[in-house]
């Protein structure tokens, strides 16, 4: 069932360009986004959005928080479900509560959803499994249509969740009239190009294989990015940790100077996400600071960057989210190839289970 791929993870990385088309199917009309799961009454009276999730799904939620605020102009906060549960959160009926879960069974996320339901909040679950515990109790369920994900390290679940959430941000933007026609059209055009941006390019895959040799020995990795590339950095670091067992941290690039840069030396690997369309000059200067302190830099960018020790060139796009998705594939391949080189079990990493049904 691996269809000729070495691992389920590899197959699922390749599938992303197909399944994200399924995610959008019937939900994208010529000039707007539509969900059969709910109508515009869902946003009536809503003043803010709160997202709760764990792990990779939390990273999709954090990405979405930038999109909800930027596109739909709705306040949005994101919390890790295991923290949310016990902090005695103050919930407000004008909050739309969104949980994100591939499995729909994660104990902490399920409990957070129950708490929101109990307080009478409108709830939505973004989920990959129909008839799961969460889809049964949320007011509305939006399925991601990723198909079964077998690799313990989540790949296509994340990309499809992010697509659904981006579409939801646009749906709310339509209702709130927060984008001009031109802006909306350019968002929709970019969404349609997502499957293309998720294609695995052989040359990129080869490059990650070659680089994996060099990035095995060191005292740790920092994945850095800004804006939505910060949650992407978190996701890149989580993937590497899960299947390579190497120490990796995702960090907002602008925060490095507030402490972590003290770790910089040639044995500290910095994986820098440097998109063309979003804060390029800012991230560039953060990376320059790390380079000046001798960190080994691997830049992922469509733009040439002289200071990088290694460089993975991505394609140029008009929209930063397309750069986001292409870089996601690079990060997934990179962690997979490091794991292969270390002789680890890519699909079934030690100490992890696909579904975490205990808290
Ligand atoms: C990472 C991974 C986990 C899950 C997390 C939440 O690759 O798979 O971090 O994302 O356990 O799981 P779901 O999304 O099923 O609630």
Nearest CA owner, ligand 1 atom 8: 154
- Ligand 1 atom nearest to CA at 355: 15
pLDDT score, position 358? 85
Is residue 354 predicted with pLDDT exceeding 90? no
Please state which of the ranges 27-31, 78-82, 119-123, 140-144 shows the lowest mean pLDDT.
Answer: 27-31
- The ligand 1 atom at the shortest distance from the C-alpha of residue 153 is 7
pLDDT at position 88: 95
pLDDT at 179: 97
58 Cα: distance to centroid of ligand 1 (angstroms)? 8
∠ CA 309-314-318, rounded to 5°: 135
Q: Which among 108, 141, 154, 159 is the best mutation to test ligand 1's pocket, defined by most ligand atoms within 8 Å of the CB?
A: 154
CA 106 to ligand 1 centroid distance, Å: 8
Q: By the 8 A CB rule, do 198 and 17 touch? A: yes
Give the residue from 296, 301, 154, 297 showing the smallest Cα distance to 235: 154
Rounded Cα–Cα distance for residues 286 and 209 (Å): 27
Mutate to test the pocket of ligand 1, among 53, 59, 61, 102 (most ligand atoms within 8 A of CB): 102
| Ligand 1 centroid – CA 54 distance (Å) | 6
Q: CA 174, 69, 41: angle at the middle one, nearest 5? A: 40
Query: What residues contact residue 315 under an 8 Å CB cut-off, 6+ apart?
Result: 197, 302, 326
For 215-244, what is the mean pLDDT?
95
Residue identifier of the C-alpha nearest atom 10 of ligand 1: 56
Cβ contact 53:104 at 8 Å? no
Q: How confident is the model at residue 218 (pLDDT cuts 50, 70, 90)?
A: confident
Q: Could you tell me the distance, in angstroms and rounded to a whole number, from the CA of residue 152 to the centre of ligand 1?
A: 8
Pairing of strands 75-80, 95-101: unpaired
pLDDT tens across 97-137, in order? 999 999 999 999 999 999 999 999 999 999 999 999 999 99
Write out residues with Cβ below 6 Å of ligand 1.
54-57, 101-103, 106, 109, 153-154, 238, 242, 355-356
Please state, rounded to an integer, the average pLDDT across all residues of the chain.
96
Nearest CA to ligand 1 atom 5: 55
- Total Cβ atoms within 10 A of residue 234: 23
C-alpha pair distances (Å), 318 with each of 18, 189, 332: 21, 10, 23
Torsion of CA 217, 245, 248, 301, to 10 degrees: 80
Angle ∠(76,78,83) on CA atoms, nearest 5: 145
> For ligand 1, what atom is nearest to the CA of residue 53?
16
Please identify, by atom number, the ligand 1 atom nearest to the C-alpha of residue 354: 8
Query: Ligand 1, closest atom to CA 109?
Result: 16
- Digit-coded pLDDT (tens) for 17-58: 999 999 999 999 888 999 999 999 999 999 999 999 999 999
pTM across the whole model: 0.97
The pLDDT of residue 229 is 98
Share of the chain above pLDDT 90, in %: 93
Distance from Cα 153 to the centre of ligand 1, integer Å:
8
How far does residue 309's CA lie from ligand 1's centre (Å)? 32
How far is the C-alpha of 85 from the C-alpha of 87, rounded, in Å?
6
Taking the CA of residue 161 as reference, the ligand 1 atom at the shortest distance is: 14
327-353 in b/e burial notation, b at 16+ Cβ within 10 A? bbbbbbbbbbbbbbeeebebbbbeeee
Please report the atom of ligand 1 found closest to the CA of residue 54.
6
């Amino acid at each position: 069932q691996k269809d000729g791929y070495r691992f389920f993870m590899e197959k699922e990385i390749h599938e992303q360009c197909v399944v994200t088309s399924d995610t959008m199917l019937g939900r994208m009309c010529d000039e707007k986004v539509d969900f059969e799961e709910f109508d515009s009454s869902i946003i009536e009276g809503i003043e803010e959005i709160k997202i709760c999730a764990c792990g990779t799904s939390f990273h999709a939620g954090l990405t979405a928080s930038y999109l909800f605020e930027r596109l739909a102009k709705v306040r949005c906060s994101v919390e890790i479900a295991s923290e949310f549960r016990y902090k005695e959160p103050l919930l407000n009926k004008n909050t739309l509560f969104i949980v994100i879960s591939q499995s729909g069974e994660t104990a902490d996320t399920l409990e957070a959803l129950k708490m929101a339901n109990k307080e009478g909040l409108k709830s939505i679950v973004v989920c990959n499994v129909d008839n799961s515990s969460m889809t049964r109790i949320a007011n509305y369920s939006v399925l991601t249509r990723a198909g079964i994900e077998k690799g313990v390290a989540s790949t296509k679940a994340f990309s499809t969740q992010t697509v659904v959430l981006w579409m939801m941000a646009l749906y709310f933007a339509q209702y709130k009239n927060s984008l001009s026609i031109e802006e909306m059209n350019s968002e929709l055009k970019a969404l349609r190009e997502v499957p293309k941006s998720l294609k695995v390019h052989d040359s990129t895959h080869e490059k990650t294989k070659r680089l994996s040799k060099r990035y095995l020995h060191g005292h740790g990795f920092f994945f850095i990015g800004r804006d939505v590339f910060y949650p992407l950095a978190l996701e890149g670091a989580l993937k590497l940790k899960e299947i390579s067992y190497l120490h990796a941290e995702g960090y907002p690039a602008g925060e490095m100077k507030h402490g972590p840069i003290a770790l910089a030396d040639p044995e500290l690997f910095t994986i820098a996400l440097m998109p063309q369309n979003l804060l390029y000059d800012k991230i560039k200067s953060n990376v320059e600071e790390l380079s000046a302190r001798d960190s080994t830099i691997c830049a992922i960018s469509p733009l040439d960057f002289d200071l990088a020790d290694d460089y993975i060139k991505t394609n140029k796009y008009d929209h930063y989210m397309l750069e986001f998705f292409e870089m996601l594939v690079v990060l997934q391949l990179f962690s997979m190839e490091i794991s292969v080189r270390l002789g680890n079990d890519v699909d079934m990493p030690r100490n992890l289970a696909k579904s975490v049904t205990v808290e």
